[in-house]
């Protein structure tokens, strides 16, 4: 009970969220394997998008970072270490570390490129010869989650920057011939309301997964959601205590899946069928094939298996392909159903 009381700002527990299974699964798989490429969540207003994203960040175990390092550098993974920490390691200096919660960075809608990427103090660099870097949101999001609400209302250039960093794991800032590069590996989560416009197809395609969420229509479920929220608002610590075991179980499952992920395999014939589905659906490029393979492995690891089965692919394939299909305004079948139909004819 004392552990729960230490929480200064209670966050709604992930396991207490009713429904929205697509969104929850996409977030869990991206946390297990950030290389899936993030998730775009499109749905109605007031469906718990922000609540769910904050809840998954709060659920994750603390991470070890280099003390006083603005990039949340890892102590041993070179892809997650800033240049200054690398220099200290190469010089044999002692590195002190501390434990922090997984960073959860919210991008404000009016953010500028400097606010996102960070800035270099040119005057100090020219007069004193010192590279002074003011970190942006990408630096703070390293090894965490970057949440971009209303991503479909952002400037395409900014969206490009997030997607490039999420794909490469690095952010490079160049000003007046001075360049600074730092690790920026994070799970990119975008959300938006389709009524306010879609992302351009070439940007949408770069998100690993696409979850669609709808307002719950069933009266009994709506009542359950409202009651759950009321219980949390009236006594958040009691609510956290009630879901503590479920939270711990899910956290352990995610940590175990992260640990065994590298050993998960997928048979050649299943990989061929995945590519056959992508070809049948006329998906441009190979991103769809790659993401399905990654997501299926993450799902198998989540279920404590080291070999991908057909059902693993079935659970993730719509999330991975729905947003990559060419839109036909005359087509009465929604994209998810089309993916399911082709999957069934290829695999079953």
166 to 21, 33, 63, 224, 278: CA distances (angstroms): 24, 12, 19, 36, 23
Q: How far apart are CA 72 and CA 324, in angstroms?
A: 33
Q: What is the 3-state secondary structure (H, E, C) of the chain?
A: CHHHHCCCCCCCCHHHCCCCHHHHHHHHHHHHCHHHCCEEEEECCCCCHHHHHHHHHHHCCCEEEECCCCCCCCCCCHHHCCHHHHHHHHCCCCCCEEEECCCEEEECCCCCHHHHHEEECHHHHHHHCCCCEEECHHHHCCCCEEEECCHHHCCHHHHHHHHHHHHHCEEEEEECCEEEEEECCCEEEEEECHHHCCCCHHHHCCCCEEEEECCCCCHHHHHHHHHHHHHHHHCHHHHHHHCHHHHHHHHHHHHHHHHHHHHCECCHHHHHHHHHHHHHCCCCCCHHHHHHHHHHHHHHHHCCCCECCHHHHHHHHHHHHHHHCCCCCCCCCCHHHHHHHHHHHHHC
Residues 6+ apart with CB under 8 A from 105: 137, 140, 141, 144, 145, 146, 147, 186
222 included as an active-site residue: no
- Catalytic member of 185, 287, 294, 338: 287
Give the active site residues.
287
């Amino acid at each position: 009970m004392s552990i729960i009381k230490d929480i200064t700002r209670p966050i709604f527990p992930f396991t207490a969220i009713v429904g929205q299974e697509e969104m929850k699964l996409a977030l869990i798989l991206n946390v297990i394997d950030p290389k899936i490429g993030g998730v775009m969540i499109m749905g109605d207003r007031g469906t718990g998008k922000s609540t769910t994203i904050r809840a998954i960040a709060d659920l994750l175990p603390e991470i070890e970072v280099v003390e006083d390092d603005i990039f949340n550098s890892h102590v041993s993974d070179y892809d997650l270490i800033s240049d200054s920490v690398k220099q200290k390691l190469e010089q044999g200096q002692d590195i002190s570390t501390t434990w922090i919660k997984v960073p959860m960075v919210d991008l404000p809608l009016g953010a500028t490129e400097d606010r996102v990427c960070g800035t270099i103090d040119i005057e100090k660099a020219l007069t004193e010869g010192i590279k002074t870097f003011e970190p942006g949101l990408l630096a703070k999001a390293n090894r965490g989650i970057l949440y971009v609400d209303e991503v479909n209302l952002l400037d395409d250039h900014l969206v490009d920057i997030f997607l490039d960093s999420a794909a490469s794991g690095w952010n490079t800032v160049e000003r007046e011939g001075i360049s600074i590069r730092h690790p920026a590996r994070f799970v990119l989560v975008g959300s938006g309301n389709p009524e306010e416009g879609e992302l351009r197809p070439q940007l949408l395609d770069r998100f690993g997964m696409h979850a669609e969420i709808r307002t719950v229509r069933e009266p009994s479920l709506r009542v359950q959601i409202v009651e759950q929220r009321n219980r949390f608002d009236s006594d958040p610590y009691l609510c956290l205590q009630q879901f503590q075991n479920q939270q711990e179980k899910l956290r352990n499952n995610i940590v175990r899946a992260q640990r065994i992920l590298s050993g998960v395999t997928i048979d050649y014939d299943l990989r061929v069928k995945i590519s056959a589905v992508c070809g049948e659906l006329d998906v441009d490029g190979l991103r769809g094939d790659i993401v399905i393979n990654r997501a299926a492995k993450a799902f198998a690891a989540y279920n404590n298996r080291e070999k991908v089965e057909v059902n693993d692919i079935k659970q993730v394939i719509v999330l991975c392909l729905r947003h990559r299909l060419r839109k036909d305004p005359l087509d009465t079948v929604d994209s998810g159903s089309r993916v399911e139909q082709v999957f069934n004819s290829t695999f079953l």
